[in-house]
Structure 1
Amino acid sequence: MSVVILYGTETGNGELVADAIADVLAADHDPSIYDMSEFSVDDLDPADFLVVVCSTYGEGELPSGAEPFAEELDDVQPDLTGVRFAVFGLGDRVYGETFNRGGEIMAEKLTARGAQQVGEHGRHDNSSAVKPAGQATEWARSIAAVVEPVNAS
């Protein structure tokens, strides 16, 4: 099973987190990383495990890098039955109710189309002393357990 990691970012932290997750999953999987702005909904494949990394921008909105993919999900309305995914969100608790809303929006859009979210929804808090890539590395280890290794049959 291949792993597709999509990231949506405004400042670049999402890409760094996606790289950290890929490093962990590379031991038993074949991860590919894509900027959400350069990935087509038509390329979603139930045979792949999807990891979504998404920051939160402004007052709880998606970052500009995630908007084209999210809009395409809404426009195309693909049947994503069989797609399994996990989400790692980036946000800041100082924003209260909109903390980590970007990742939640992406999870809602995917599940509304029939995809199944698995594992713990990772939520990094930029107000904490924990670095996003460090937390993502720990989170990815837990996600690795729910993804079939490439060599499994």
Structure 2
Amino acid sequence: MSIVILYGTESGNAEMVAGDLADAMPDREVTVEDMSVFEPEELEEGTFYLFVCSTHGDGELPSGALPFWEELDAIRPALDGFRYGMFGMGDSTYSDTYSQGSEHIDRLMTELGAQRVGEYGRHDASSRQTASDAALAWLPGLLAALEAAGIDA
């Protein structure tokens, strides 16, 4: 099973994290795609999707994730059988909106029947840890969850 990392970004941080995650899995078939150009019609059953999404403004999706989310919400395909992982980015000093960009995608994927695998990964911009370091520390848990679920990714 291949892994497609879909990133949604405003300033480029989620793109950097997506690239670092892909680089950390050299023994797997991994591609990185920008949600601003990836069409929901391209979603393929049998592929594991890993979302990396920042938060913008007052808990909104970043401009890079909005086209994908809007189209997915408009066509609302049945995603039963789809599995995905989620890594959200935000700043916990904004407690009401922390990591909400990724939450929008997570809720929609679940509504459409997809199942999230593993822990919901998050980076807190108010911490001393870089987003990439947080993601790379979270990745082994996700890969173990995939193995435990019998997903050969």
TM over 0.5: yes
Partner of 2:84: 85
Could you tell me how far apart the structure 1 residues matched to 2:25 and 2:113 are?
25
- Output the CA distance in 1 between the equivalents of 2:23 and 2:83: 20
TM-score (norm 2): 0.94
Q: Distance in 2 between matches of 1:17 and 1:133?
A: 5
Residue 43 (1) aligns with residue 52 (2): no
* Alpha-carbon distance in 2 for matches of 1:38, 1:144: 26
Aligned with 2:118: secondary structure? coil
Shift of 1:149: 3.9
2:22 alignment partner in structure 1: 22
Identity, in percent, stands at 46
- Equivalenced residues, count: 149
Distance in 2 of aligned mates of 1:26 and 1:15: 18
Matched, 1:55 2:54: yes
User: In the TM superposition, what are the counterparts of 1:1-153 in structure 2 within 5 Å?
Assistant: 1-27=1-27, 29-145=28-144, 146=146, 148-149=151-152
Q: 1:10 Cα shift?
A: 0.3
- Whether contact under 8 Å (1:25, 1:144) holds in the other structure is no
SS at match of 1:33: strand
For 2:25 and 2:117, how far apart are their aligned partners in 1? 16
- Report the residue type matching 1:17 in the other structure: V
What CA deviation, in whole Å up to 9, does each residue of 1:73-96 have, x standing for no partner? 111111111110010000001111
Provide, for residues 43-97 of structure 1, a one-character-per-residue CA deviation record: whole Å limited to 9, x for no partner: 1112000000000000000000000000011111111111100100000011111
The normalised TM-score by structure 1 is 0.94
Any runs of at least 4 consecutive aligned residues in structure 1 with deviations exceeding 4 A, and if so which?
none
Q: 1: CA distance between counterparts of 2:121 and 2:25?
A: 15
Partners of 1:26 and 1:111 in 2: CA distance: 29
Tell me if the contact between 1:25 and 1:140 (Cα under 8 Å) persists in the aligned partners. no
SS in 2 for 1:143: helix
Report the Cα distance in structure 2 between the residues aligned to 1:102 and 1:141, rounded to whole angstroms.
23
| Structure 1 residues without counterparts, runs of 5 or longer | none
Aligned-partner Cα distance in 1 for 2:67–2:35: 7
The runs of 5 or more residues in structure 2 that have no matched partner are: none
CA RMSD of aligned residues (A): 1.1
